[in-house]
Structure 1
């Protein structure tokens, strides 16, 4: 019985010891090792300089700074253009596939579909379109992790967005660069998008190529037909970055006008 009491007393003493503030348990010299050192002034200046250079580079390559860019002639004019089609599921998919079905296959013979992971609806719709256009329902599709799932907490959204962006950088930007010499070094000649938020990592991946001065796809965002008086959040985010921003409903200038924005009227 005495042994059990001594063990119990030992546990109780240990609990009381652990409840004490850490500065009462550990000496100050040990606590200093637990605190991460602050970066040096030189390191901070280097990081600040690099950040300013990246921001300046992005500002210089924004499409709005060159309202009338010259389009270089390339081999795409000879064998047709490859179109990247981001299908955002639901109404986004239905609208964009209607637009893609109207493209002349002689000029745009190849299509690469970018779909959110688990979006079987968009894959099936893409197969139906390919069967209609080519007679073959096989599609070239890339499944992208969702930047944010439906009803996902905003606290965990940055983690899924970072994963989606890393995947897009690897798939959209880096993989095409290691293709054989006789193949195109871009995923597609142009990427069509109409939302939702998963297209933001795609835009970020393309801009990584542009910051480095490497070949990159053109970006076109078509705002949803359902957006009559206001823009979606995704549209507001990507509008300054895309090469062409298409509105299907008129807006009042100058509030809604910019160099890369066009009003096309109804497209669907």
Structure 2
């Protein structure tokens, strides 16, 4: 029988606080100094990608095009509810099966890409002469490799919105982002600067500290950022496992960053 004396309660509280502090310290040390990941060799990497409007979406889709779908799957795309451009870009991706509770069925159709240099995610190896009826009999694992999932979250802050009201919208967006991260428990979160990615990354970091998932955060600064970081970059510089810049001047100023040349 446990006797809940004040000293016992105090001791349990101190023990839990120490365990939490140790976990937080371990995660932050892993981020800053590089630590092991929980992904087994040969296993699939559940990937969550945050899209932003305009140039952010264009750069991110070019980046994702270089991922091997046989390795990085399933892929979950998170879009702000007012970001029609990103929805249209995803709707135009060829050879993809896009599913979403919030997305109309028309987005699930395979459509070609208009124009040259379209943004096409890398597809699995295909056999040109394979009959359509055999294609329908593919194993579930192969179907998962070609499947993309769309999740919608509220925008943290609209252009011109006051900072006072943005506090409440950011909290609401964070709660919605937490639901998505808990649902998918990604192994990898890839972001490149839109404001919507901050709540998602913070939720991923929280769940990692609580040992619910081991989401590794990769931030790729926008190509247009030559000498200074974006606001999102300045925030995630301290929490991203991989912080990638595309100009040597930025790498010289921010020692934790990695310069891999132009990657988008």
TM-score normalised to structure 1 length:
0.67
Q: Deviation per CA, 1:120-178, whole angstroms, max 9, x where unpaired?
A: 2101212323x1567936841111111101110111110100111111112212x34xx
Q: Does 1:155 align with 2:153?
A: no
Runs of 4+ in structure 1 deviating by more than 6 angstroms, as ranges, are: 49-56
Aligned to 1:170: 179
Q: CA deviation at 1:73?
A: 4.5
Q: Deviation per CA, 1:78-137, whole angstroms, max 9, x where unpaired?
A: 4x32321100111100000011112222322432110011212101212323x1567936
Q: Which of structures 1 and 2 has the bigger CA Rg?
A: 1
User: Which blocks of at least 5 consecutive residues in structure 1 are unaligned?
Assistant: 1-46, 177-185
Q: Does 1:77 align with 2:42?
A: yes
Aligned to 1:211: 209
Please point out which of 125, 136, 139 is paired with 2:110.
136
Distance 1:158 1:132, change over 3 A: same
Superposed CA RMSD: 3.0
**Contact 1:165–1:202 under 8 Å retained in 2:** yes
Aligned to 1:245: 243
Q: CA deviation at 1:238?
A: 0.9
Distance 1:123 1:57, change over 3 A: same
In 1, Cα distance between equivalents of 2:230 and 2:30:
20
Please point out which of 250, 257, 260 is paired with 1:264.
260
Distance 1:63 1:86, change over 3 A: farther
Distance 1:54 1:166, change over 3 A: farther
Distance 1:214 1:50, change over 3 A: same
Structure number with the higher helix fraction is 1
Q: Deviation per CA, 1:203-258, whole angstroms, max 9, x where unpaired?
A: 11112212212223211110000000000010010111111111111136764102
In 2, Cα distance between equivalents of 1:154 and 1:52:
35
Aligned to 2:114: none
In 1, Cα distance between equivalents of 2:31 and 2:180:
28
Higher relative contact order (CA 8 A, sep 6+): 2
**Number of matched pairs:** 207
TM-score normalised to structure 2 length:
0.68
**Contact 1:148–1:197 under 8 Å retained in 2:** yes
User: Which blocks of at least 5 consecutive residues in structure 2 are unaligned?
Assistant: 1-12, 98-108, 112-146
Distance 1:239 1:63, change over 3 A: farther
**Contact 1:250–1:263 under 8 Å retained in 2:** yes
Give SS of 1:245's match: strand
Please point out which of 20, 28, 48 is paired with 1:62.
28
